[in-house]
Amino acid sequence: MADTAPSLLPEGGFSVIPATETDFPAIKALVHETGINPLGLNWHRFYVAKSSAGELIGCGQLKPHGDGSLELASIAVVPKWRKRGVASAIIRTLMDAGPRPLYLTCLSNMGPFYEKFGFRAISGNELPKYFRRLSMVAGLVHALHVIQETMLVMRLD
């Protein structure tokens, strides 16, 4: 992952910086608290948002897959810091650090949020092997009415 300078947002009172090993327990706790996929967490791939007091308030990673695709993943923000630009700052930092194409998965209701960053929903032959398999599993889960929303795979070129 490329070294990216911290992005300090004075009006928000936080910065986005590469994670360190000491951040990993807080990253894992936040991922579990928010209920997102806890598989494939590796602190080396994460950027974290920290408040001006040094509190970890958000995280995200660029997660590689065996088929060569790279996923914007594990975007999570502490509840009291939501709607304050933290997720957007993490996403922009990861987009700057990652090559193209860059993929992500999300529930369909989050599609418009990611479209603001230039991602577009893809399906069928556009899906890399990893996401094709994941999409099939998600379709089965949705068909069984385990979840109400459908899963989107999105791509940034």
- Torsion 75-130-98-114 (CA) sign: negative
Question: Where does the pLDDT of residue 135 fall: very low under 50, low under 70, confident under 90, or very high at 90 and above?
Answer: confident
This prediction's pTM: 0.86
Q: Which domains does the chain have, with CATH numbers?
A: 1-99 (3.40.630.30), 100-157 (no CATH)
Residue 122 in tokens = 């893809």
What span, in angstroms and rounded, lies between the C-alpha atoms of 101 and 126?
Answer: 11
Average pLDDT, the chain: 89
6 has pLDDT over 60: no
Length of the chain, in residues: 157
Question: Where does the pLDDT of residue 149 fall: very low under 50, low under 70, confident under 90, or very high at 90 and above?
Answer: confident
Residue reference for tokens 């995200």: 60
The helix/strand count (H/E) of the chain reads as 4, 8
DSSP reduced 3-state for 128: coil
Alpha helices in the chain (DSSP H): 24-34, 86-97, 111-115, 129-143
- Work out the average pLDDT over 47-76: 97
